[in-house]
Amino acid sequence: MAETITDSTPGVADAHERNRAMTSKTDGRPALSSELVEQFSLHGRTAVITGAAGGIGRQAAITFTQAGADVLIADVGVAGLEETAEMVAAAGGNATIVPTDVSDRDQVNALADAAIKTHGRLDIWANVAGVIRYMNIVDATPEDVEFITKINLWGTYWGVAAAGRTMTNGGSIINVSSAGGDMPAPTLSIYAMTKAAVSHLTRCAAVELGANNIRVNAIAPGFTDTPMVQSRWTNADGSTNEAERESYTSTRAAQSPLRTIATPEDQSWAMLYLASDASRFITGQVIRPNGGVVMA
């Protein structure tokens, strides 16, 4: 015989009360539950973001601030960091600027120390710093390979290591890979190589650091409108090659089933998920906010 469930059935009345509490008194639509909001909150946590002088790193600093985190922002460009700090302040936060060359292990370790000195804890570390150069394989020089590798790969490696040593109460490390690490990328072989390595480093680190309650994940953005990408159509005098910009962005948008390109905000929302308790059982994964260009 089927069980008849009524308002007096144990648990049902409580559920109805919770649903009523979630309903807005103004328009009758459900409001966000406090439990849901709490899962995505970064209140009371300290986050380090490298590559924060612009692009995805800057937006991550703003988004993490909006979610309640205290942020330390790092990059080699102090002027860009100061602009980011102003944006963080406008979002209601206060960013600590730590000029850092991520290819220098000692500077990265000092960045981790700064988090402890400033806020007494380190909960989130986002390795966003990265560089790009466009060239064919046959034209690449040892300097090209070294420059891109030391920032994109070694910089991420030292960041993972510093965070892993410093996160004594667990935490979340977020690396930035790329769709270029998942698919052939003409004129981007060095960049693509380093980003593929970042994806696998993410998996290795997740295995090593999981016992310390440290989650390690990555995002692999597709084409995103950032200053680094904009360098593709920026002339030597700083002006914009509009024809190149239109051609390149249109081609990239056409590669996505959504027929559009990403913004830094699109990437920062994925990073917020990985930084928050909403992803507490997610580790060793590469999340791909790429508009469907690569499906895995």
Active-site choice (134, 157, 191, 273) = 191
Query: Please, what's the b/e burial string for 53-90 (b: 16 or more CB within 10 A of its CB; e: otherwise)?
Result: bbbbbbbbbbbbbebebbbbbbbbeeebbeebbeebee
Question: Which one-letter amino acid corresponds to residue 156?
Answer: T
| Spatial strand order in the sheet of 46-50 | 95-99, 70-75, 46-50, 124-127, 171-176, 214-219, 286-287
| Residue 163 exposed, middle or buried by CB count within 10 Å (0-12, 13-18, 19+) | buried
3-state secondary structure of 95: strand
Please confirm, yes or no, whether 134 is among the known catalytic residues. Answer: no
Q: Check residue 294 and report its DSSP letter.
A: S
Torsion angle defined by CA atoms of residues 74, 175, 272 and 101, in that order, rounded to the nearest 10 degrees:
0
Question: What is the rounded distance in angstroms from the CA atom of residue 38 to the CA atom of residue 122?
Answer: 19
The Cβ of residue 18 has, within 10 Å, a number of other Cβ atoms equal to: 12
What residues are labeled active site?
191
